[in-house]
């Protein structure tokens, strides 16, 4: 017969203020198998833990119930405590009399006390049926995967590679760099974006520890911390990277021109292209949707009547090293990694949803990121800021903030964090480009919390003479060559109307396309918008709730470059903390099959979301289920699916749960 | 029809393709069918099929695992067989299925030929089994118009919760806990049924209403999404508890919630053993 000790925690006044501790202790004394009861002001404190350890030794306790806060909070702490006193750490049960009791029933002390007693009673009944459980050591792959090659992912990959661990960086575009590669200069220091980004991109490409896979996507992820198995789809570029010398003849001579995504349609690109001159890797890809030869092949394959389109193949004919490879096909690579960093970044809000801003009809209503391309010396206009409609130089520029941010109508309650700052930056840069430019910035509030940010706003106002108008824009319409911007100056409480040459919409930040689907395949949580959810918003900001999967950058929430870089490094450190361990410890609270009860129906296998159930053949020839302990997450779905009760969950066995229920009504 | 079954049975036994044919012969009252196992060609001459073949024979296949067997099935039996195949209790490749076109089974009593169709057959729309290797009998046009709900089911549906509880209390009160329903049910093949388990003890061993109630309802839940409505449990119940009513109700619930009928398709797992992220059940909303 086990000797059970019960420790009731006051948690200062958190519990003791509502629950009558003395009554709980008195009741515990009478519970079956309980041989010792004590209270603690703070059980988790060093004094509290020592008291528990001493009691275990002195009272020869064999099982322990700690009635305190949620097991989420301190179960791990108390497992260590009892282990230090020589008990198996799993011979412990926590009765949550804080979150489940005192905090939610603070207005009814008598009822709260009664409930606390019942919770303790259940815990005592359960712990009496606990069994000693033992962890196992499992090996791990000391290699990391980074998904997304923007600045966040680049930083994470470099930090891990520099620490000596191999890294696979998967980027779905043909180049790494992400959105930062599109920016001209960066707030608040105005250093040129590519000048600080390009060296990092090159370092990635040249790093002996980094395998760079661009034009590639993660298809599926299986496994668990330390032992993930990832399927990566490497899309065909139709260019042999081992032969291509990046001479550029192909993309100069390719006759098929389409609007360049990288320049947001402000200039053309060829069907064979690199997104921008400093692309890494600098190997072109053939855009299959637009290449003439591919269209020709498709036409022939359809066997249609009529005139055949031209075969083209100019790139193939002109390529000096003959690098064009029409046979190249998509490939699926399978890689094993121990930790994953998700840095899939952002895209900007689709402003055409705003009818009042012209819904995309007016060519001279552009977005912030388009203005970045116009400002950039390597952009489509080589840094000359001109109106898309007629190529003239705009003199009056109106900025509209919070387009797709802080707007419940668009389902976007959140602030995009960077727009106030980049509008100020762009006003300064416009003035530098052309002193005659007058910028008007319509804002709701100015958010400039970062280091040196408030000073930067002042600079826009004082040096660049940007006029800040507080208020929302109600309407934009074209009047001849001008765009009439109507709004309200809410400080003066009167309507304003500005005849502008160019309107810049500060479109907000939203998660990249496909972020939700990726999160689903990784089994990590995401919020209503598709941003990845942190394990704890304050204390674990770069960890997902799935062990071994870490987060960085704008995939979590809108952020600026300094924030993204810091998160990239932070995620790298967290991942390194996994990779640098000699081995990992398995959680023993997993499912287990009773071979005598199992009929081999495999309901459990169909129910398991983690592919943790295999089959095995017993000596008498029966095929039955067996749990792969390293894949099992201990979720218990299989237990509920098994009618024959052959499946059980260690630490939450059916016997233990039923004992709890029975204790309640006995 | 009988000749077709016998011919096939003989052929299969002669060639050694199967070592046993499970079917029906005429029972000792000279009228009603009973289960029949033919191991030799001579025995195969006893095989017969008519509207008294009420038994669902597929459960016998579980014990014949590893031995090739032929079996005569009605449409409802065929669905039960598909459930067993999906649940890996029977291997499709070990079974030769002789599907019988079914005109419905008649209520019968010992020594008497009945005339009325059984309740389940009045609402059944299927005449041809969904799966078979050989079809015997003349295929009929399907489906025939579905009869309205079994009159007892309709009465139950119109009762208040309290009235329904009283109805079932009265029914379950008669339960002897003989487990005949379980023994005959093709879906009940657990190695150790929950009701027999002592650790944990799910149902007390006392023979009283709460235990009887628990036993019958948990068994019904274990069959939700799996029961094909063959009503064998109801047929064998010595105290005439209308267990079919309980099972049909759950079958309809599963059909509306999950758009699923058990045993219709091979390799489609039952809804209560699959967990889908996008499932919205309207429960707790
Ligand atoms: C107009 C504008 C101006 C700005 N100016 C400044 C500034 O001056 N200073 C500043 O600090 N910040 C500025 N920012 C913010 C800055 O752009 C971001 O902080 C930063 O670029 C975010 O980097 P990231 O790596 O998190 O995301 P991204 O740059 O978006 O990188 C994510 C990468 O992941 C890839 N990816 C996405 N999904 C997948 C997938 N499923 N598989 C593989 N790869 C995937 C994408 O292709 C992309 O390359 C500005 C933002 C805007 C909109
Ligand atoms: S085949 Fe023609 S269209 Fe296609 S990439 Fe080469 S040059 Fe361009
Ligand atoms: S559900 Fe239960 S009986 Fe069926 S295979 Fe799994 S453990 Fe065995
Ligand atoms: S508890 Fe069962 S269902 Fe859950 S992960 Fe483990 S084996 Fe799979």
CATH code at position A49: 3.40.50
Chain A residues within 8 angstroms (CB to CB) of chain B = 520, 596-604, 606-607, 609, 621, 623, 637, 641, 643-646, 654-655, 658-659
Q: Domain check: are A121 and A164 in the same one? A: no
Beta-carbon count within 10 A of B86 CB: 24
Residue where one domain finishes, among candidates A531, A560, A579: A579
Question: Rg of chain A's alpha carbons, rounded to an integer?
Answer: 31
Q: Mark yes or no for CB contact B273/A655 under 8 Å.
A: no
- CA dist., res. B272 & res. A500, Å (int): 63
Contact A365, A483 (CB under 8 A): yes
Residue where one domain finishes, among candidates A579, A599, A633: A579
CB of A176 sitting under 6 A from ligand 4: no
Instruction: Please report the sign of the dihedral spanned by the C-alpha atoms of residue A308, residue A314, residue A315, residue A316.
Output: positive
Among the partner-chain residues A599, A606, A659, the one whose CB lies closest to the CB of B274 is: A606
- Measured between CA atoms, the residue of chain B closest to residue A610 is B275
Q: Residue A468: is its pLDDT beyond 50?
A: yes
Q: Domain check: are A517 and A499 in the same one? A: no
- The pLDDT tens digits for A239-248 are 999 999 999 9
- The pLDDT tens digits for B178-221 are 999 999 999 999 999 999 998 888 998 888 999 999 999 999 99
* For range B4-12, the mean pLDDT: 96
Q: Residue B275: is its pLDDT beyond 80?
A: no
Q: Domain check: are A213 and A256 in the same one? A: no
- CA dist., res. B124 & res. B146, Å (int): 7
Residue A242 lies in a domain: no
pLDDT band (50, 70, 90) for residue B152: confident
Q: Residue A205: is its pLDDT beyond 60?
A: yes
Q: Domain check: are A362 and A506 in the same one? A: yes
Q: What is the pLDDT of residue B146?
A: 58
Q: What is the pLDDT of residue B112?
A: 86
Nearby residues of A352 by Cβ (< 8 Å), 6 or more positions away: A359, A360
Residue A211 lies in a domain: yes
Domain range for A60 is: 4-127
Measured between CB atoms, does B139 come within 8 Å of chain A? no
Q: A60-63 — which CB contacts under 8 Å span 24+ positions?
A: A60/A3, A61/A3, A61/A4, A61/A5, A61/A35, A61/A36, A61/A87, A62/A2, A62/A3, A62/A4, A62/A87, A62/A91, A63/A2, A63/A3, A63/A4, A63/A5, A63/A33, A63/A87, A63/A91, A63/A92, A63/A93, A63/A127, A63/A128, A63/A130
Q: Domain check: are A526 and A456 in the same one? A: no
pLDDT band (50, 70, 90) for residue B44: very high
Of the candidate ranges A303-317, A586-600, B233-247, the one whose mean pLDDT is the lowest: A303-317
Q: Residue B62: is its pLDDT beyond 80?
A: yes
Q: Domain check: are A435 and A524 in the same one? A: no
Distance of CA A226 to the CA centre of its chain: 19
Beta-carbon count within 10 A of A313 CB: 14
Q: Domain check: are A478 and A563 in the same one? A: no
Q: What is the pLDDT of residue B285?
A: 40
- CA dist., res. A575 & res. A569, Å (int): 10
Percent of chain B whose predicted confidence (pLDDT) is above 70: 93
Residue A132 lies in a domain: no
- CA dist., res. B66 & res. A87, Å (int): 49
Residue that has been written with the tokens 């480009």 in this structure: A433
| CATH number for the domain that contains residue A631 | 3.30.70.3270
Using DSSP's 3-state secondary structure scheme, residue B230 falls into coil
Q: Domain check: are A9 and A122 in the same one? A: yes
Residue A359 lies in a domain: yes
- The pLDDT tens digits for A165-191 are 999 999 999 999 999 999 999 999 999
Question: Rg of chain B's alpha carbons, rounded to an integer?
Answer: 20
Q: Domain check: are A225 and A100 in the same one? A: no
- A-chain residues near B270 (CB < 8 A): 603
Q: What is the pLDDT of residue B143?
A: 61
Q: Residue A204: is its pLDDT beyond 70?
A: yes
Q: What is the pLDDT of residue B40?
A: 96
Among the partner-chain residues B193, B199, B273, the one whose CB lies closest to the CB of A606 is: B273
Domain count, chain A: 5
Q: For residue B279, give the DSSP letter.
A: -
- CA dist., res. B101 & res. B137, Å (int): 5
pLDDT band (50, 70, 90) for residue B149: low
Using DSSP's 3-state secondary structure scheme, residue A111 falls into helix
- The pLDDT tens digits for A63-95 are 999 999 999 889 999 999 999 999 999 999 999
Percent of chain A whose predicted confidence (pLDDT) is above 70: 100
Average pLDDT of chain A, as a whole number: 94
Q: Domain check: are A219 and A294 in the same one? A: no
> Environment class of residue A244 by beta-carbon count within 10 Å: exposed (0-12), middle (13-18) or buried (19+)?
buried
CB of A265 sitting under 6 A from ligand 4: no
Q: What is the pLDDT of residue B279?
A: 66
* For range A578-592, the mean pLDDT: 93
pLDDT band (50, 70, 90) for residue B284: very low
* For range A424-442, the mean pLDDT: 96
Prediction pTM value: 0.74
Q: What is the pLDDT of residue B235?
A: 92
What the block records as the tokens of A450 is 């970062």
Q: Mark yes or no for CB contact A599/B190 under 8 Å.
A: yes
Shortest distance between the Cα of B63 and any Cα of chain A, in A, equals: 12
Average pLDDT of chain B, as a whole number: 90
Three-class HEC string of B76-127: HHHHHHHHHHHCCCCCHHHEEEEEECCCCCECCECCECCCCECHHHHHCCCC
- B-chain residues near A655 (CB < 8 A): 199-200
For β-strands A63-68 and A4-9, DSSP reports them as parallel
Closest CA to A120 of A33, A187, A205, A247: A33
Q: What is the pLDDT of residue B280?
A: 60
| CATH number for the domain that contains residue A201 | 3.50.50.60
Measured between CB atoms, does B270 come within 8 Å of chain A? yes
- For residue A216, CA distances in Å to A146, A171, A263, A427, A523 come to 12, 6, 21, 37, 20
H helices of A32-99, in order, are: 46-58, 71-84
Shortest distance between the Cα of B221 and any Cα of chain A, in A, equals: 9
Q: Residue A315: is its pLDDT beyond 90?
A: yes
- CA dist., res. A594 & res. A612, Å (int): 16
- The pLDDT tens digits for A356-401 are 888 888 999 999 999 999 999 999 999 999 999 999 999 999 999 9
Contact B135, B128 (CB under 8 A): yes
Residue A240 lies in a domain: no
Q: Domain check: are A181 and A305 in the same one? A: no
What the block records as the tokens of A277 is 């001159």
Beta-carbon count within 10 A of A445 CB: 11
Question: E strand or H helix at A294, and its extent?
Answer: helix A292-302
Residue A328 lies in a domain: no
Taking the centre of ligand 4 as the mean of its atom positions, its distance from the CA of residue A119, in whole angstroms, is 27
Q: Domain check: are A371 and A506 in the same one? A: yes
Give A483's Cβ-side CA count (13 Å radius).
27
Measured between CB atoms, does B138 come within 8 Å of chain A? no
Contact B72, B81 (CB under 8 A): no
- The pLDDT tens digits for A469-526 are 999 899 999 999 999 999 998 888 899 999 999 999 999 999 999 999 999 999 899 9
Nearby residues of A61 by Cβ (< 8 Å), 6 or more positions away: A3, A4, A5, A35, A36, A55, A87
Residue A135 lies in a domain: no
Q: What is the pLDDT of residue B278?
A: 67
Q: What is the pLDDT of residue A306?
A: 81
Residue contacts between A and B (CB atoms, under 8 Å): 55
* For range A146-173, the mean pLDDT: 98
Q: Residue A159: is its pLDDT beyond 80?
A: yes
- CA dist., res. B117 & res. B103, Å (int): 9
Give every strand in the sheet of A549-551, ordered side by side.
A210-214, A167-171, A144-147, A339-342, A549-551
Q: For residue A631, give the DSSP letter.
A: T
Contact A122, A95 (CB under 8 A): yes
Residue A133 lies in a domain: no
């Amino acid at each position: 017969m086990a000797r059970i000790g019960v420790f009731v925690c006051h948690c200062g006044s958190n519990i003791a203020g509502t629950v009558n501790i003395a009554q709980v202790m008195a009741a515990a004394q009478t519970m079956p198998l309980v041989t010792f009861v004590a209270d603690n002001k703070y059980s988790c404190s060093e004094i509290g833990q020592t008291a528990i350890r001493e009691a275990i030794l002195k009272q020869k306790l064999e099982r322990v119930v700690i009635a305190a806060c949620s097991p989420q909070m301190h179960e791990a702490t108390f497992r260590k405590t009892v282990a230090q006193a020589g008990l198996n750490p799993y011979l412990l049960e926590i009765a949550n009399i804080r979150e489940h009791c005192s905090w939610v029933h603070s207005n009814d002390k008598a009822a709260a006390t009664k409930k606390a007693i019942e919770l303790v009673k259940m815990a005592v009944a359960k712990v009496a049926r606990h069994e000693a459980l033992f962890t196992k050591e499992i090996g791990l792959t000391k290699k990391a995967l980074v998904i997304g090659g923007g600045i966040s992912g680049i930083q994470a990959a470099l930090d891990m590679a520099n620490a000596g661990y191999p890294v696979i960086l998967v980027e779905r575009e043909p180049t790494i760099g992400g959105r930062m590669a599109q920016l001209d200069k960066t707030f608040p220091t105005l250093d040129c974006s590519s000048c600080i980004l390009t060296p990092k991109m090159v370092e990635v490409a040249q790093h002996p520890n980094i395998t760079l896979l661009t034009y590639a996507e993660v298809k599926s992820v299986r496994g668990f911390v330390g032992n993930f198995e990832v399927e990566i789809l490497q899309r065909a570029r139709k260019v042999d990277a081992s032969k291509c010398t990046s001479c550029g003849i192909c993309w100069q001579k390719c006759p098929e021109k389409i609007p360049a995504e990288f320049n947001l349609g402000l200039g053309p690109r060829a069907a064979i292209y690199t997104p921008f001159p400093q692309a890494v890797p600098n190997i072109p890809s053939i855009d299959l949707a637009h290449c003439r030869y591919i269209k020709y092949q498709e036409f022939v394959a359809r066997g249609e009547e009529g005139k055949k389109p031209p075969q083209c193949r100019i790139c193939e004919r002109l390529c000096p090293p003959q690098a064009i490879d029409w046979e190249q096909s998509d490939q699926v690579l399978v890689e094993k990694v121990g930790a994953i960093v998700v840095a899939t970044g952002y895209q900007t809000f689709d402003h055409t949803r705003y009818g009042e801003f012209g819904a995309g009809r007016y060519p001279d209503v552009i977005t912030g990121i388009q203005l970045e391309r116009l400002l950039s010396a390597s952009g489509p206009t080589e840094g000359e800021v001109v109106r898309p409609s007629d190529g003239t130089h705009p003199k009056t520029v109106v900025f509209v903030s919070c387009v797709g941010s802080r707007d419940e109508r668009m389902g976007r309650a959140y602030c995009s964090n960077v727009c106030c700052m980049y509008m100020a930056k762009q006003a300064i840069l416009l003035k530098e480009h052309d002193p005659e430019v007058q910028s008007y910035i319509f804002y709701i509030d100015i958010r400039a919390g970062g280091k040196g940010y408030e000073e930067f706003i002042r600079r826009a106002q004082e040096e660049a003479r940007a006029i800040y108008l507080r208020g929302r824009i109600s309407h934009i319409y074209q009047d001849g060559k001008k765009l009439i911007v109507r709004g309200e100056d809410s400080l003066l409480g009167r309507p304003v109307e500005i005849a502008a040459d160019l309107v810049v919409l500060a479109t907000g930040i939203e998660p990249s396309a496909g972020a939700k689907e990726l999160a689903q395949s990784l089994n990590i949580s995401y919020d209503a918008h598709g941003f990845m959810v942190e394990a704890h918003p304050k204390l674990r900001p770069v960890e997902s709730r799935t062990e071994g999967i870490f987060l960085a950058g704008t995939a979590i929430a809108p952020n600026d470059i300094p924030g993204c870089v810091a998160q990239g490094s932070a995620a790298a450190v967290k991942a390194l903390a996994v990779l640098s361990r000699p081995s990992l410890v398995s959680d023993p609270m997993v499912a287990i099959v009773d071979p005598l009860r199992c009929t081999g129906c495999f309901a459990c296998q169909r129910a398991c979301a983690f592919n943790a159930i295999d089959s095995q053949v017993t000596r008498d020839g029966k095929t039955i289920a067996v749990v792969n302990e390293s894949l099992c997450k201990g979720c218990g779905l299989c237990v509920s699916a098994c009618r024959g009760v052959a499946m059980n969950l260690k630490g939450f066995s059916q016997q233990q749960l039923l004992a709890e229920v029975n204790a309640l009504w006995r | 029809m009988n000749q077709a079954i016998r011919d096939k049975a003989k052929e299969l036994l002669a060639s050694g393709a199967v070592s046993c044919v499970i079917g029906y012969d005429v029972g000792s009252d000279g009228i009603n069918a009973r289960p029949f196992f033919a191991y030799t060609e001579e025995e195969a001459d006893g095989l017969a099929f008519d509207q008294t073949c009420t038994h669902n024979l597929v459960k016998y296949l579980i014990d014949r695992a590893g031995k090739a067997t032929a079996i005569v099935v009605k449409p409802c039996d065929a669905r039960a067989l598909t459930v067993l195949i999906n649940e890996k209790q029977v291997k499709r490749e070990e079974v030769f299925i002789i599907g019988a076109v079914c005109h419905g089974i008649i209520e019968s009593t010992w020594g008497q030929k009945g005339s009325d169709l059984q309740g389940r057959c009045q609402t059944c729309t299927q005449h041809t089994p969904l799966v078979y290797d050989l079809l015997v009998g003349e295929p009929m046009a399907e489906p025939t118009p579905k009869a309205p709900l079994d009159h007892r089911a309709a009465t139950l549906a119109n009762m208040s919760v309290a009235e329904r509880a009283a109805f079932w209390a009265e029914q379950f009160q008669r339960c002897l806990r003989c487990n005949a329903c379980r023994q005959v049910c093709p879906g009940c093949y657990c190695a150790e049924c929950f009701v027999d388990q002592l650790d944990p003890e799910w149902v007390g061993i006392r023979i009283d209403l709460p235990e009887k109630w628990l036993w019958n309802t948990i068994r019904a839940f274990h069959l939700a999404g799996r029961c094909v409505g063959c009503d064998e449990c109801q047929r064998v119940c010595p105290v005439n508890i209308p267990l079919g009513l309980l099972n049909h109700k759950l079958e309809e619930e599963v059909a509306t919630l999950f758009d699923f009928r058990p045993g219709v398709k091979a390799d489609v797992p039952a809804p209560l053993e699959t967990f889908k992220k996008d499932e919205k059940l309207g429960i707790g909303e």
